Amino acid sequence: DDRLSAMALALGKNFRDSKKEKVKKEVVTAIYSYAVNTLCSLSEAILHVRYGNMEKEDEQVKQYVEEDRKLIAPVIKKYIDYKKERRYIDYDDMLSVVATQLERDEALRDAVTKRYRHVLVDEMQDTNPLQYKLLKSFVKGSHLFCVGDDAQSIYAFRGADFRTIHSFTEIIPHSEKLKLLLNYRSTQEILDLSNWALGQSPLRYDKKLEAHRGKGEMPSLIHVEDDWEEADLITDGILDHVAEGGRYADTMVLGRSVWSLSKVEGACLSKKIPYVKYGGTSLMQSAHVRDVASAMRIVANSYDEIAWIRFLQLWDGIGEIKASRIISRVITLATFAEMIASLQQFDGMEINAAIPATLAAVREYNDRPAQAMEAAVKAMQPMLEKKYREEWTSRASDFEVLREVARSSGSITEFITEYVLDPKAETTFKIGAKETEDAVVLSTIHSAKGLEAEIVHILNINPASYPSSRTILQGEDAIEEERRCLYVALTRAKNSLKLYRNIRSLHTQYTDANQHEQLYFLNNLPSQLVRIVINGQEKRDLPTPFKPTQGQADFPDFDFG
């Protein structure tokens, strides 16, 4: 990407932030782009991109933002000057320059806007302030026809402004709002639940969808012990559906994040269920998985030069040249033991002792691939933590999933062949591609907008997830956007909708101090809207949430006599 290359030149090789941490070119580019698209200050953009999950009014956060601003501002100025000197424009400039010129130059504005009698804007709820700035120039000279759904405005993290559609008639003079309330996708029971969820918002959406298709199956609220039970229930249900003549493609599984889909993805791999994934990298194609797999590939085939190249270059001080020198020597040796010994006593080059130690540890579990993966992760963890930094915690959880997948293989070689090297893993399980027409869809909610399926499973609808802790910190606007995310997820289903949450949510203590429970989107859910399943059995009503009494408990008298 040319823009990232230009930003890298502006950053230089050793740019550090206020906490002396290296800042990636992608982060500074995201900050710049967010500021341009939302017409906000650099400080606001830094706060959103870098510290969005922290308390905005925290004095420490304010200090970080201001210190980062002083460091990042010269970099962005350098980037802008670089573009001006070479007469380059990036995608944001294409919008910004035109919108600004139309706003400032009345003659130009009249000449351009009067060429178009009618302007149609689709997905109006996703427009950001910069796009709206461009659109405003057409208000006077053209007729605007804007199509959108304020209940599906879920891209604030990209700069989308909910108000451009929700308050359209207040912003655009003499405008009229026409509501399309007849839904052709879902059955009425699914829409009843969706309407209720949206109706709990303090914002007034003033809409109630009706199903053209009429009545159907009641949505299910299913309680599970943990994420693994959730994944097993879903994938077993998929297999049953296919055995009864259905298609894999009839099913969609939705999660709030790529990470939340990992257990289901692991279960699909174990049960040979074909899937496509939207919203992130496929588990088997993830960089951190490939890093660990490189050590296992070497153990499976010690002459695999591609695996050696990847594995060696993970470690500090080893680039392409050093890696090539090491490989050219070790692959001439007859046994794996000799290779390990050579790495321990490598003439003319100091090699990190963790390199041979990792390979030796993995080799100990040649016929137990799950334990081999565990050994590899343990040995490589300090290096991987350094490489992936703040992402490591979420990435590390993927190995728990892969260990379960590996248990079905009899050896490291079998695991590598079937899940890492097998072309089927590159096609059937590839992200979003159309290599197979019949595949389950795994998707984040944000990536599912516009999609639909006969059967939809929505994961982890628990307190502390809807809304999340981060969302609560960001305030009411973010909380309401997350409510709209849930609404989008619910309305993807055509015939069958299944919601999953942890059984412990039934026993949550609802106290005034516990914001997660007080703000939970399924509080006061009418039991007639869902089929309630607890421990595999259908229940008529949900248990009443436990609300402790105020004050200290009264202890019984103790007889000291």
Are residue 287 and residue 257 in the same domain, yes or no? no
Same domain for 401 and 311, yes or no, is: yes
Residue 545 lies in a domain: no
Considering the domain boundaries, does residue 431 fall inside one?
no
| pLDDT at 197 (0 to 100) | 96
- The domain of 272 spans 188-280+436-539
Last residue of a domain, one of 178, 201, 229: 178
Q: What is the pLDDT of residues 450-489, one digit of tens each?
A: 889 999 999 999 988 899 887 888 788 889 999 999 999 9
In this structure, the answer to whether residues 484 and 356 fall within a common structural domain is no
- CA–CA dist 197, 410 (Å, integer): 47
Contact 220, 533 (CB under 8 A): yes
> Where do we find the tokens 């906490």?
19
Number of domains making up the chain? 4
The answer to whether residue 298 sits within a structural domain is: yes
- Cα 362-273-451 angle, rounded to 5 deg: 120
Query: Residue 297: inside a domain, yes or no?
Result: yes
CA proximity to 25, closest of 14, 38, 36, 37:
14
Q: Is residue 162 domain-shared with residue 199, that is, in the same domain?
A: no
Identity of the amino acid at 217: E
For residue 56, the model assigns a pLDDT of 64
Distance CA(474)–CA(479), nearest Å, equals 8
**Which residues in the chain land under pLDDT 70?**
1, 18, 53-57, 280-282, 347-348, 421-436, 507-516, 543-556, 558-561
Peptide bond into 173 cis (omega under 30): no
Is the separation of the CB atoms in 384 and 291 below 8 Å? yes
What CATH number is attached to the domain comprising 482?
3.40.50.300
441 and 350: one domain? no
Last-in-domain residue among 425, 455, 470: 425
Mark whether 287 and 153 lie in a shared domain.
no
Last residue of a domain, one of 367, 392, 425: 425
| 120 and 57, same domain (yes or no) | no
Helix residue ranges per DSSP H, 271-335 = 287-300, 305-312, 320-330
Pair (211, 154) in one structural domain = no
Q: Extract the tokens encoding 109.
A: 């504005």
Do 258 and 443 meet the contact criterion of CB atoms below 8 Å apart? Answer: no
Q: Is residue 559 part of a domain?
A: no
Q: Is 91 exposed, middle or buried (0-12, 13-18, 19+ CB in 10 A)?
A: exposed
pLDDT at residue number 430: 40
Assign 549 to helix, strand or coil: coil
Instruction: Assess whether 519 and 463 both reside in one domain.
Output: yes
Tokens encoding 53: 């999950």
Provide the pLDDT for residue 110.
92
Does a structural domain hold residue 169?
A: yes
Which value, in Å, is the radius of gyration of the alpha carbons in the chain?
28
CB 300 within 8 A of CB 413: yes
Read off the pLDDT of residues 402-424 as tens digits, 9 standing for 90 and up.
887 788 788 898 888 777 765 34
CA torsion angle 218 223 227 231 (round to 10): -40
Together in a domain, 287 and 414: yes
Residue 84 placed within a domain:
yes
For residues 313 and 376, membership in a common domain is answered with: yes
Residue 550 lies in a domain: no
pLDDT score for 555: 59
Predicted local distance difference test score (pLDDT) of residue 434: 47
CB 47 within 8 A of CB 65: yes
| 138 lies in the same domain as 219 | no
